Structure 1
Amino acid sequence: MKRIMLVCAAGMSTSLLVTKMQKAAEEQNIEADIFAISESEVDKNLGSKDVDVLLLGPQVRYLKSSFETKYKDKHFPIDVINMADYGMMNGANVLKHALGLIG
């Protein structure tokens, strides 16, 4: 089971992307827990569950370096979702990117 956390400003703009990523995961027989939250909920969520990768929406890309510092002891990759894939809501590409980061 891969746990993929998407973070955006309010947690709402990524909900459609989550749906498309879940559909792509099902089509590829990949067990994944994919969810979206707002930047203000990250600490609370990471306190209660482990994640395999954290992806930032392009609108909060500025958080990447501070998150990398803050969560370095958690040992999961943090990256920004490709702007074109985000804009096109290309769940398959974003899932592929997330899985590539996980390794």
Structure 2
Amino acid sequence: MNEWLYSLRWSLPYIPCPGERELGQVTVQAGECCPASLLAQWVPGSGYAIFIDFMTLKPARPWSDERKAATRRRNLERRINRVAPLFAEELTERELAARPDYFTGK
């Protein structure tokens, strides 16, 4: 089940924090409002703000070898075309020959 994390944190990046950077935090079920205990600590204009972080339980999915290979080749072509568009084909072939495993997604 998803959870949300409400916290009262210092929110002015160019002004040094006068005390604790985080005054409190509360974890609630997704969709619930900010708890009254945290709202009671907040003072408008004090430099602190209420933040919400969405805690997800989904694990990161690994990329398939085909997707990695396609992305690596596309990035290679982009880099080479930006630096040396006249010799792009030749330089791309050299790089693919020099590191075949990398560009097949291994």
Normalised TM-score (structure 1): 0.23
Higher-Rg member (1/2): 2
Normalised TM-score (structure 2): 0.23
| Relative contact order higher in (CA < 8 Å, ≥ 6 apart) | 1
- The structure whose residues are more often helix, as a share, is 1
